[in-house]
Structures are given as structure tokens and as C-alpha cells.
Amino acid sequence: MVGCWGFRPWRTGRVSIKKPRARYYRLLKAGKGRQEALVQVQEEFRSTPKHKEWKDYKYWAAWQLSGARSPIQGL
């Protein structure tokens, strides 16, 4: 793991885990910092989710950053 995606204290299903994680890694590869990427993914899920139910906090609120906030060099 790249400094993020700790735990989920509730069940959400595999697809709902895969989508934000994939988006997070795409943002990292684009040069965003870890914190910036996480905040952007959470905001996207809150405001313009692909599936209406993803607006619910249980799909985005539990993800937390650990470690450095900066971009990852050479990713």
C-alpha cells in the first residue's frame, strides 16, 4: 500500500472498495500528493459519485492517510 487505505469499520462490498482505490492510485501516478489524492477521491464520492449510494459516508469516510502526505517520486 502507498501510505493510505487503512481499514473500514463497516461492510461496503468489493466494488465500492476497488473504485476509490483505483482512482486514488491514478491521481498518485498523475503527480498528486497522497493527502491531496485522498481528499479529492473522497470529495468526488461525496459530490459526484457514479452510483447514488456511494454518496453515503460508509463508502468514503473510513479511508485514512498514514505516513507522508507528499507525492511519491518515481511512481
Output the nine-digit C-alpha cell for 68.
507522508
Give the ranges where the chain is alpha helix by DSSP (H): 14-29, 34-47
In a domain, 45, yes or no: yes
- What is the tally of structural domains in the chain? 1
In a domain, 75, yes or no: no
pLDDT in tens, the chain (75 residues): 444 444 455 565 655 667 888 888 999 999 999 889 989 998 988 888 887 887 887 777 777 787 777 788 777
In a domain, 48, yes or no: yes
In a domain, 63, yes or no: yes
In a domain, 17, yes or no: yes
- Cβ partners under 8 Å of residue 6, min gap 6: 62, 63, 64, 66
In a domain, 74, yes or no: no
Amino acid in position 58: K
**Domain extent at residue 35:** 1-69
Output the nine-digit C-alpha cell for 11.
461492510
In a domain, 10, yes or no: yes
